[in-house]
């Protein structure tokens, strides 16, 4: 069927962005309609979806007709988006993620100094320690469960590692508060709970962060929360109370939920590409390259929500009307970029991942990319050095994808850490 691309409009979505469906089969289907297509999101909210690398790049590179600020989203300002809509909490927060221009630079500058590659490198010994302690915990579990015991590596390693690291950077050190925060974030992002449950989780999450701010205000430490409170309290008015909480929310959430899936997917890839794992363990390949190949193979952020047209604009053959939103299909664009559809995990061939889109591009390029890269490389090298014979506990075909419109990966990664020699 010939499709007249210029006739596409949000009134007639070509498909539904299905949280239950594999990212890549969906993208392959949509790309037949063109690089930018109208789709329906949950609750029949309409958006354009950019699924090709070229379209993703155009949108992310500070496009003059597009904004990150949801006040430009027509359906939202008209009150048409249900209060508990998945991701609404993130989209409407007053953080750098949803700001443009000078506001964006002001909010980003307040924390960016802490995330430079040099600063993050200085944190490496502590990352090694945290990762080593988690592996000690897995080792003790082996003693009680026996060598054939099945461990969900996502739950027992890939989740706690980035969570503990980002919480430490922000001075959220009480385990019960970390646990509460993680639970609230999971509910807020879930498409399997009701809107009311999502809203309740958003309130709970704000309570944890408000308590963190109160604690650090009473007893400042050298952490990033204390630095943000200083910016809030100084005379220059660099930050408002709401921006402070929303900044904490976006960094604590972005700082672990994505990295969890990056770690899990790369372990998954290595366990199913044993020749490349052997080359890593023999020192022929290096761990940072494995992280890049993993990010390319399965970008942890499946779709980036969203950009909004500030005026009618032509985008890769379609007309996006003022106020319409655009989702960027990072996982699909990442693979399409170098013609690696279907997927190819190849650490040796860096042409596939040297300019990938997993961390976005342009002014909103991921602030935490150096941290995510370092903690993933350290975590993977320590994990496989400790458990070099680890294997999947189920056939790969039985791994279940996460149900989500935003993140990408498997729901659980059951492994046998140290199988008995056969
Ligand atoms: C593998 C892990 C990660 C992935 C795949 C990832 C992905 C992304 C992407 C695609 C964006 C661009 C969003 C946009 O353009 O609207 C972004 C922004 C951001 N990320 Fe990450 N991220 C990861 C880890 C982290 C970590 C560890 C942190 C902790 C500091 C972090 C903090 C942020 C922040 C604060 C932004 C907003 C930047 C801005 O708007 O200027 N991310 N991330």
Summarize the confidence of residues 402-408 as an average pLDDT. Answer: 88
* Percent of the chain whose pLDDT exceeds 70: 96
**Residue position matching structure tokens 């005026």:** 311
pLDDT over 60 (residue 160): yes
pTM, two decimal places: 0.94
Residue 321 DSSP symbol = P
Contact present, 220 and 226 (Cβ < 8 Å) = yes
Q: Is the pLDDT of residue 1 over 60?
A: no
DSSP 351: G
Q: Give the tokens for residue 271.
A: 């366990």
Sheet holding 46-50, edge to edge: 15-16, 36-40, 46-50, 325-328, 304-309, 66-67
The CA 360 to ligand 1 mean position distance, Å, reads: 8
> Cα(first)–Cα(last) distance of the chain, in Å?
54
Q: Which two tokens stand for residue 66?
A: 């597009």
250 inside domain: yes
Over residues 291-303, the mean pLDDT reads 92
Asked if residue 392 has pLDDT above 80, the reply is yes
CB count within 10 Å of CB 117 equals 12
Select from 366, 372, 380 the residue to mutate for testing ligand 1; criterion: most ligand atoms less than 8 Å from CB.
Answer: 366
The finding on whether 302 has its CB within 6 A of some atom of ligand 1 is no
> Within a domain: residue 422?
no
* Coil/strand/helix, residue 39: strand
pLDDT of residue 54: 92
Average pLDDT over every residue of 312-338: 90
Contacts of 198 (CB under 8 A, 6+ apart): 84, 86, 89, 187, 188, 190
Q: Are 374 and 161 in contact (CB under 8 A)?
A: no
Structural domain tally of the chain? 1
Q: Which domain holds residue 338?
A: 5-416
Q: What is the pLDDT of residue 2?
A: 55
305, containing H or E segment: strand 304-309
Ligand 1 center–CA 369 separation, angstroms: 7
Residue 354 predicted with pLDDT over 90: no
What residues contact 7, with CB distance under 8 A and at least 6 apart? none
Residue 185 inside a domain? The answer is: yes
Distance 294 CA to ligand 1 centre (A): 16
Region 379-400 average pLDDT? 96
The pLDDT of residue 137: 95
Render pLDDT for 96-149 as a digit per residue (tens, 0 to 9). Answer: 999 999 999 999 998 888 888 888 989 999 999 999 999 999 998 888 877 778
Residue nearest to atom 42 of ligand 1 (CA): 368
Q: What is the mean pLDDT of residues 252-268?
A: 93
Residue 92 lies in a domain: yes
Specify if 106 maps to a domain.
yes
The verdict on the CB of residue 100 being under 6 Å from ligand 1 is no
Instruction: Give the mutation target among 189, 254, 294, 373 for probing the ligand 1 site: most ligand atoms within 8 A of CB.
Output: 254
| pLDDT computed for residue 161 by the predictor | 96
Assess if residue 84 is contained within a domain. Answer: yes
Task: Answer whether residue 293 is part of any domain.
Answer: yes
280 CA distance to ligand 1 centroid (A)?
27
Angle value at C-alpha 286, between 361 and 408, nearest 5 degrees = 45
- Report how far ligand 1's centroid is from the alpha carbon of 306 (Å): 13
Which region among 19-28, 68-77, 406-415 has the lowest average model confidence (pLDDT)? 19-28
Q: What is the CATH number of the domain that holds 127?
A: 1.10.630.10
- Site to probe by mutation for ligand 1, drawn from 66, 104, 112, 367 as the one with most ligand atoms within 8 Å of Cβ, is 367
């Amino acid at each position: 069927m010939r499709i007249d691309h210029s006739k596409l409009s949000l009134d007639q979505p070509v498909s539904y962005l299905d949280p239950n469906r594999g990212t890549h089969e969906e993208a392959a289907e949509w790309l037949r309609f063109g690089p930018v297509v109208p789709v329906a999101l949950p609750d029949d909210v309409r958006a354009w979806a950019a699924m090709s690398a070229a379209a993703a790049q155009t949108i992310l590179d500070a496009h003059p007709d597009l904004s990150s600020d949801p006040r430009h989203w027509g359906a939202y300002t008209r009150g048409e988006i249900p209060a508990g809509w998945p991701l609404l909490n993130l989209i409407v927060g007053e953080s750098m993620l949803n700001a443009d221009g000078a506001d964006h630079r002001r909010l980003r500058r307040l924390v960016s100094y802490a995330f430079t590659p040099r600063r993050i490198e200085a944190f490496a010994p502590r990352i090694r320690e945290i990762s080593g302690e988690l592996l000690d915990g897995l080792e003790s579990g082996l003693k009680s469960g026996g060598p054939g015991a099945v461990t969900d590596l996502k739950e027992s390693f890939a989740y706690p590692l980035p969570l503990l690291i980002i919480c430490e950077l922000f001075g959220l050190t009480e385990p019960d508060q970390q646990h509460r925060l993680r639970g609230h974030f999971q509910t807020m992002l879930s498409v399997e709970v009701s809107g009311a449950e999502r809203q309740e989780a958003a309130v709970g999450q704000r309570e944890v962060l408000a308590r963190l701010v109160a604690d650090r205000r009473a007893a400042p430490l050298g952490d990033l929360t204390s630095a943000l409170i200083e910016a809030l309290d100084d005379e220059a008015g660099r930050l408002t109370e709401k921006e402070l909480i929303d900044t904490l929310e976006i960094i604590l959430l972005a700082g672990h939920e994505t990295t969890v899936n990056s770690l899990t997917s790369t372990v998954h890839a290595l366990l199913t590409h044993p020749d490349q794992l052997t080359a890593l363990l023999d020192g022929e390949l290096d761990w940072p390259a494995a992280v890049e190949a993993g990010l390319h193979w399965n970008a942890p952020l499946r779709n980036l929500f969203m950009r909004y047209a500030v005026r009618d604009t032509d985008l890769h053959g379609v007309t996006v009307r003022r106020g319409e939103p655009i989702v960027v299909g990072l996982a699909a664009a990442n693979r399409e970029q170098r013609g690696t559809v279907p997927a190819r995990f190849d650490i040796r061939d860096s042409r596939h991942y040297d300019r990938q889109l997993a961390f976005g591009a342009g002014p909103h390029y991921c602030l935490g990319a150096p941290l995510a890269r370092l903690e993933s490389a350290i975590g993977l090298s320590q994990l496989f050095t400790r458990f070099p014979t680890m294997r999947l506990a189920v056939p790969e075909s039985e791994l279940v994808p996460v149900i989500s419109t935003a993140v990408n990966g498997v729901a659980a990664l059951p492994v046998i850490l140290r199988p008995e020699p056969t």
